[in-house]
Each structure stands twice: as C-alpha cells, then as structure tokens.
Amino acid sequence: MIPLRSTWAPLYAAAVLIAAQQSLADDMYKTVDPQGHVTYSDHPQSPASQRISVEVREGNAEEAARLTRQQAAMDAESALQAKQARQDADEQAKKAAQLAQQQQRCNAARNRYAMFAAGGRIFKTDAQGNRVYYSDEEIDQQRALTKAAMDSACGS
C-alpha cells in the first residue's frame, strides 16, 4: 500500500509551485527515506535525493470561475439541506411533544374513569373545602362522562 502522503505529495508540490508563480519550469527534489516514505522539496534533503523538473502552467481563469460557481452551488445546496434537516428535527420534536401531551391526557382520563368505575364512596370538595359525597346516580352519571372522555382522549 502506498502511503497517503506520497500519493498527494506530487499534487501538493505542483500546487505550491503554481501558487508561487515562479518560472515556467522549476526544479524539485524527490527523497525516499529508509522506511519508503517519499518527500518532495525545493532543496535536496540527502545525497540520494533525485532532481526532478516540474512544469508550471498558467491557470485557466474560465475553469477557475466554473469551479467557483460549482462550489457556490454545492454550498447553497448543503445549506438548504441543513435547513431542511433542522426543520424536520423541529417538526419531529413538536410531534413528540404533542404525543407526550396526548398520552398524559389519556392517562389522566383513564385514572379518573378508574376511580368512578371502582365505585365506593367517592367525594368532591365544595367551595368551602368540605367533602360532598356522590350519590349512586351521580357516580353512574360521572362514570359515563369519564368513559366518554377517556375514549375521546385515548382514541379507543
């Protein structure tokens, strides 16, 4: 397997030369160390360094402009996708909150119905804080009302 840096080294060397805008041809040195790593430099790093000539071509302005437009379009698309992902996440969070509220309403309705379904002595508190016990008819009436509320809240 070729080390990654030796694969990219010629491209990096060419990019450095283009950026420096030196002469149309420039000399570079290729050095291979004992471990097999290849290094490119503008000066020899050892007596075993090989001198190579790199041709530097002038950049194509049209191609650079095209690549810039292409990158801008890709950036805009990425921003749009990120915005859509945020909206989707917000929508999911909202749905999860609504589902949790619905589940709480359902549980509360079930608990209230269970209280009236169990029967026994059930009371409510009046304005003065006194217990007022339901009659059997009122319990039956409340049981029917809470059953309807539970069915509505729980969807069953």
27 & 91 share domain: no
Compute the distance between CA of residue 20 and CA of residue 23 in angstroms, rounded to an integer.
9
Is the model's pLDDT at 6 over the cut of 70? no
The residue-averaged pLDDT of 145-154 equals 93
Q: What are phi and psi of 25, to 5 degrees?
A: -135, 140
| Residues 37, 99 share a domain | no
Domain containing 35 equals 4-58
- Phi-psi category of residue 43: left, alpha or beta, with phi > 0 → left and psi -120 to 50 → alpha: beta
Please name which of 38, 8, 42 lies closest in space to residue 23, comparing C-alpha atoms.
42
On whether both 46 and 76 belong to a single domain, the answer is no
pTM: 0.48
Question: Which uninterrupted H or E stretch holds 136?
Answer: helix 136-154
Q: How confident is the model at residue 53 (pLDDT cuts 50, 70, 90)?
A: confident
* 98/101 Cα distance (integer angstroms): 5
Whether residues 44 and 76 share a domain: the answer is no
Same domain, 111 and 136: yes
Number of domains in the chain: 2
CA distance 17 to 28: 10
